[in-house]
Amino acid sequence: MTKADLVEIIFEKVGLSKKEAQDIIEIIFDTIKQAFQEGESVKISGFGTFNVRKKAARRGRNPQTGEELEITPRRVLTFKASNQLKAALEK
């Protein structure tokens, strides 16, 4: 599913124009992206929780050469599905 698919669904179900639906989708995604940049969690009831996690630096190995290297610290995005979403997937 793409942003265009979401715009089309909002257009059909809510009755907004495609431009308005696209603006709403962009605002939602920009708001979520800003929360991630600030290190905040985003919880969508009935869907799940997105968390920004900090990973420390660690030793790694290049699988092709076997050479050891330092993996730099970074932030990663994790997702934990809600119980309602898990139940819906089981049906």
Residue ranges per structural domain of the chain: 1-38, 40-91
Task: Provide the CATH number for the domain formed by 1-38 in this structure.
Answer: 4.10.520.10
Domains 1-38 and 40-91 share a fold: yes
DSSP symbols for 26-89: HHHHHHHHHHHHTT--EEETTTEEEEEEEE--EEEE-TTT--EEEEPPEEEEEEEE-HHHHHHH
pLDDT of residue 13: 93
Domain 40-91 belongs in CATH node 4.10.520.10: yes
**Segment 12-45, tens digit of pLDDT:** 999 889 999 999 999 999 999 999 999 999 999 9
pLDDT of residue 52: 95
**Segment 46-59, tens digit of pLDDT:** 999 999 999 999 99
Answer yes or no: is pLDDT of 91 > 90: no
What global pTM score does this model have? 0.79
